[in-house]
Amino acid sequence: MLRIENLTGGYVKSQNVLNGIDLEINEGDCIGIVGLNGCGKTSLTRAIMNLLPYREGKIEFLGQDITRLAADKIAKRGISLFLQGGVVFDELSVLENLTLYENWKKEDEILKNFPFLQKTKKELSKIRADKLSGGERHQVALAMCLLKQKPRLLILDEPSSGLSPTATNQMYETLEMLRKNENLTIILVEQNIARAIEFCDTVIMLRSGSVVYSSKNKDIKEIENVMFNN
């Protein structure tokens, strides 16, 4: 589904954040991207959407070259990016956020995966986005990713960042339902290694913008040993 070849680049010309990344993802895969802060995890997600300048490399999605496409055109091809922190429009109601792009014929099909959104349109119209808790905000932001353009590939950048343990559990319960019900291929960037191992089929580790480890192994001790001692 997604092929990345020799992806190299960064925010400024004098310094690369990504250094020759090669990655292949098949339809139905759930891939976890882990690594220490600054290793290039978020930069990789942004590069896939052409939100980070890269000077070398090629990205193909569903057999088509998307290397130089604008982000909105990449989204229309079927890739959606959940940004760290859960990005919503604070000045709008929850309903207004959800209906910015969506054809509401698909409303029930998609929103059934989100416990917080099991409300009437009237109820959702009375909740301002700036009044949401962290967990609620993340659910709305994730729903927007699916409603804007129902994706084939969902990229999640730190979906548990800043959440309480309870909200984190709820987020991953929602992701499990989405994976089951919406037939999604997923790339998950996660600082919580245990969560990444539990949720994903394969874990890939970045260091200094390069892939240094890839395994289906569920042994957290091995992964932590590679991360902290090599």
CATH number at residue 187: 3.40.50.300
With respect to residue 149, please indicate whether it lies within any of the assigned structural domains: no
With respect to residue 6, please indicate whether it lies within any of the assigned structural domains: yes
With respect to residue 51, please indicate whether it lies within any of the assigned structural domains: yes
The pTM for the full model equals 0.91
What mean pLDDT comes out for the span 114-139? Answer: 93
User: Measured between alpha carbons, how far is 55 from 8 in angstroms, rounded to an integer?
Assistant: 6
The number of domains in the chain is 1
Return the biggest CA–CA distance within the chain. Answer: 55
User: Measured between alpha carbons, how far is 135 from 151 in angstroms, rounded to an integer?
Assistant: 22
Q: Which domain range does residue 194 map to?
A: 2-85+154-229
Task: Tokens for 128, please give them.
Answer: 């301002």
With respect to residue 78, please indicate whether it lies within any of the assigned structural domains: yes
With respect to residue 172, please indicate whether it lies within any of the assigned structural domains: yes
The burial class, CB within 10 Å (0-12 / 13-18 / 19+), for 20 is: middle
Q: In which band, very low, low, confident or very high, does the pLDDT at 53 lie, cut at 50, 70 and 90?
A: confident
105 DSSP 8-state letter: G
Of the candidates 18, 25, 16, the one whose C-alpha atom is nearest the C-alpha of residue 40 is 18
Among 58-67, 74-83, 154-163, 174-183, the minimum mean pLDDT is found in 174-183
pLDDT tens by residue, 141-178: 999 998 877 899 999 999 999 999 999 999 999 999 88
With respect to residue 95, please indicate whether it lies within any of the assigned structural domains: no
* Contacts with 57 (C-beta within 8 Å, 6 or more apart), sequence order: 4, 5, 6, 7, 8, 9, 20, 21, 67
With respect to residue 131, please indicate whether it lies within any of the assigned structural domains: no
Q: Report the alpha-carbon angle 172-229-163, nearest 5.
A: 25
With respect to residue 96, please indicate whether it lies within any of the assigned structural domains: no
Whether the predicted pLDDT of 35 surpasses 80: yes
Of the candidates 188, 148, 212, 151, the one whose C-alpha atom is nearest the C-alpha of residue 29 is 188
